[in-house]
Amino acid sequence: LGGSITRALAKMSNDTVIDEKVFGDCLNDITRALLQADVQFKMVCDLQSNIKRVVNLEALAAGTNKRGIIKQAVFSELCNMLDPGKPSFSPKKGNPCVVMFVGLQGSGKTTTCTKYAYYHQRKGFKPALVCADTFRAGAFDQLKQNATKAKIPFYGSYLESDPVKIAVEGVERFEKENYDLIILDTSGRHKQEAALFEEMRQISEATQPDLVIFVMDSSIGQAAFDQAQAFKQSVSVGAVIVTKMDGHAKGGGALSSVAATKSPVIFTGTGEHIDEFEVFDVKPFVSRLLGMGDWSGFMNKIHEVVPADQQPEFLQKLNQKIFTLRLMYEQFQNIRNMGPISQVLSMLRGFRAELMPQGHEQESQAKIKRYMTIMDSMTDAELDSPNLKFMNESRIIRIARGSGRPVRDVLDMLEEYKRLAKICISMSNIKPHKKGDKRPV
């Protein structure tokens, strides 16, 4: 999607005069790209007419940046489509709440339940998992295994076949034991969807969840809207999690599920592992859809900030797919040396949401400083080893002690490193910037 829209916009930039025809052609190109990215047909039509309304070419004074205005209009329309206008329920520490997961079989519910629990556990919540999937053989074992790995208490049964009964028992038990985030995993059978929706309705009625999360596989394509709507009709879905964003899916289904459920996307799943889970942030997501910002912008900043004599080495290392802690340290150093840090970081997908929430720039600066302090206590071998090969428990404890930071901070830093490494490694074809090269916009 990114590519085609960027091409559409770039094509337009070649036309010196942007008249109605060029504008129309451009919109058609964007339409095609959005459809290819699995955005629902009706939504694409809506987007098109909204943009036509917002952008009145004739009214634009001569000499204004028409291309910029159209680009901005597409960007903000897509952002609007992802913003249902109201935030979803968010759990509060110490206030018991029940969060129910729904979605078709294979969408990633069980995996995502554990990720969600783990994410909140690290934020100081006391989560617990209840397996109310009595349909799929092995469902309880799967949840048990995930939960045990993440050290999260769980409840379920091999004998009981009534999912409503298990859900109620599990919720009661964990409420009594003062858990503040009780997470209900449910079944998602195919082919018997009427029965499934009835089961979801009954579980929801019996447990009165504070939040129902619809889990959607990003690769389901055009089916996203109907699927999300079907769940919304049986239970009051309040949020969406889109999984498997690490695959080839283009993400357009996220727009459909927001429209169908009138609820926001709150997280995305980006892998099978428990920490491959990202807070959803509308603007970077749309930027990425449109191919604006993200890497081209980031690389420009690198070119501006990284001293010229270090550039080839940096890019060479990236091309060799070696992203070491030392490389990250050097980038932090570079970033700290430049103006508003958010300008650089906002271009990194997934990075900003975690490291640089808007309005928390100062805290983020402090965080980077903290990470650098921690890395100052690491050995050369540790800093230069790819993939944290050297890292183990005793080293982590030693580093924590040496830097005077809690172990948790060291783990946070390593997490951040893993995330960055993944993004950096996924870049390909990075060429050192030469004088006279045309920089991407």
Binding site for ligand GDP (CB under 6 A): 103, 105-111, 188, 243-244, 246-247, 269-272
Q: Which value, in Å, is the radius of gyration of the alpha carbons in the chain?
A: 24
Closest CA to 182 of 167, 194, 195: 167
CB under 5 to 8 A by kind: which of ligand GDP, Mg ion, none does 77 bind? none
State which residue, 106 or 432, has the beta carbon closest to ligand GDP. 106
Q: Which does 270 bind (CB under 5 to 8 A by kind): Mg ion, ligand GDP, none?
A: ligand GDP
- x-or-dash pattern for Mg ion, window 138-167, by CB under 5 A? ------------------------------
Three-state DSSP class for 98? strand
105 vs 385 by CB, closer to ligand GDP: 105
Distance in Å, CB of 209 to Mg ion, minimum: 17
Q: In whole angstroms, how close is the CB of 217 to Mg ion at the nearest point?
A: 12
CB of 244 to ligand GDP, least distance (A): 4
Q: Identify the burial level of 284 via C-beta atoms within 10 angstroms of its C-beta, where 0-12 means exposed, 13-18 middle and 19 or more buried.
A: buried
User: How near is the Cβ of 277 to Mg ion at its closest, in Å?
Assistant: 16
For ligand GDP, give the closer residue by CB, 23 or 267.
267
Sequence-ordered strand ranges (E) for 15-115 = 97-102
**111 touches Mg ion (CB under 5 A):** no
Residues composing the chain:
441
Q: Does 186 bind Mg ion (CB under 5 A)?
A: no
At 232, the amino acid letter reads K
113 or 341, CB closer to Mg ion? 113
CB-based closest residue to Mg ion: 110
**What is the separation, in whole angstroms, between the first and last Cα of the chain?**
17
Provide, rounded to whole angstroms, the least separation between the CB of residue 362 and Mg ion: 41
Nearer Cβ to Mg ion, position 157 or 364?
A: 157
Structure tokens at 330: 């050097």
Q: What amino acid is encoded at 67 in this protein?
A: R
Which of the choices Mg ion, ligand GDP, none does residue 304 contact, using the CB cut-off of 5 to 8 A by kind? none
The SS3 call for residue 84 is coil
Q: Which is nearer to ligand GDP, 29 or 275 (by Cβ)?
A: 275
* Strand pairing report for 127-132 and 181-186: parallel
Sorted by sequence, the CB contacts under 8 Å of residue 386 that are 6+ apart come out as: 322, 323, 324
When the beta carbons of 109 and 349 are compared against ligand GDP, the nearer one is 109
Q: Least distance (Å) from ligand GDP to the CB of residue 126?
A: 23
CB of 140 to ligand GDP, least distance (A): 12
| Strands across the sheet containing 154-155 | 154-155, 127-132, 181-186, 97-102, 211-217, 239-243, 265-269, 277-279
Q: CA dist 380 to 43, 195, 326, 385, Å?
A: 53, 59, 8, 8
| CA of residue 379 relative to chain centroid, distance | 33
Which of Mg ion, ligand GDP, none lies near 243, with the C-beta cut-off 5 to 8 A by kind? ligand GDP
Q: What is the rounded distance in angstroms from the CA atom of residue 113 to the CA atom of residue 187? A: 12
What does DSSP assign to residue 339? S
| Candidate ranges 67-75, 109-117, 233-241, 416-424; the one touching Mg ion (CB under 5 A) | 109-117
CA–CA–CA angle 389, 391, 397 (5° rounding): 175
CB of 251 to ligand GDP, least distance (A): 12
Distance CA 50, CA 231 (A): 28
Specify the residue for token string 């949840």: 143
Shortest distance, CB of residue 185 to Mg ion, whole angstroms? 6
Q: Quote the distance between the C-alpha of residue 218 and its chain's center.
A: 12
- Segment interacting with Mg ion, rule: CB under 5 A, options 41-49, 105-113, 263-271, 366-374: 105-113
Q: Which does 163 bind (CB under 5 to 8 A by kind): ligand GDP, Mg ion, none?
A: none
Question: Nearest approach, Cβ of 241 to Mg ion (angstroms)?
Answer: 14
- Asked if 110 is part of the footprint of Mg ion (rule: CB under 5 A), the reply reads yes
How many other β-carbons are positioned within 10 Å of the β-carbon of residue 328? 20
Decide whether 91 or 269 has the Cβ nearer to ligand GDP: 269
* C-beta of 148 vs 387, nearer to Mg ion: 148
HSE (CB half, 13 Å, CA atoms) of 258? 25
Q: Is the CB of 61 or the CB of 137 nearer to Mg ion?
A: 137
Stretch that binds Mg ion, among 103-111, 160-168, 238-246, 379-387 (CB under 5 A): 103-111
What does the binding site for Mg ion look like in residue numbers (CB under 5 A)? 109-110
